[in-house]
Amino acid sequence: MPGPAVDLLRRVPLFSDLDNRELQEIAGSMKQRSFSTGQQIAVEGESGVGFFIIEDGDASVTVHGDEVRRLGPGDYFGEIALIAQTPRTATVTAESDLKTYGMTFWDFRPLVEETPGIAWKLLQSFAKQYDRSQS
């Protein structure tokens, strides 16, 4: 399973500075998850503990009931939930049968704590994203 998950992780800005070995470590902690059409994966306002990358299928993203985005293969959501268990800012619903790779906060935290190189690169990535959002 790490092969497809690694390829998907490469597309996520949070993980863009990680090398292949580091991506494989993270991918090895991910689990394949499937969701049926109509199933909610994340619910606005509820606690978020998971990060997902879509391998196959489509999903909709709604905020206050209004669709704001469509997601498909290679798209991701919930990356902030890996670090901060804050409430979800949107609802994500499977629009077709959906195959994802997912990881929870409690799987991600020990990996980062035990691998300082990954932690440092993720911190740098967050800093770059913050800097871009301030421009």
Give the pLDDT confidence of 51-72 residue by residue, as tens digits: 999 999 999 999 999 999 999 9
Residue 95's domain comprises: 2-104+116-127
Q: What is the pTM of this model?
A: 0.85
Whether the per-residue pLDDT at 99 is higher than 90: the answer is yes
Query: What CATH number is given to the structural domain containing 93?
Result: 2.60.120.10
Kindly state whether residue 82 falls inside one of the protein's structural domains.
Answer: yes
CB 20 within 8 A of CB 64: no
Beta strands in 17-133 (DSSP E): 31-35, 40-42, 50-56, 59-63, 66-71, 76-77, 91-94, 98-104
Closest Cα to residue 86, out of 119, 46, 124?
A: 46
| Number of separate domains in the chain | 1
Kindly state whether residue 135 falls inside one of the protein's structural domains.
Answer: no
Kindly state whether residue 134 falls inside one of the protein's structural domains.
Answer: no
The predicted structure's pLDDT at residue 79: 82
Kindly state whether residue 32 falls inside one of the protein's structural domains.
Answer: yes
Kindly state whether residue 109 falls inside one of the protein's structural domains.
Answer: no
CB 103 within 8 A of CB 94: no
Beta strands in 40-121 (DSSP E): 40-42, 50-56, 59-63, 66-71, 76-77, 91-94, 98-104
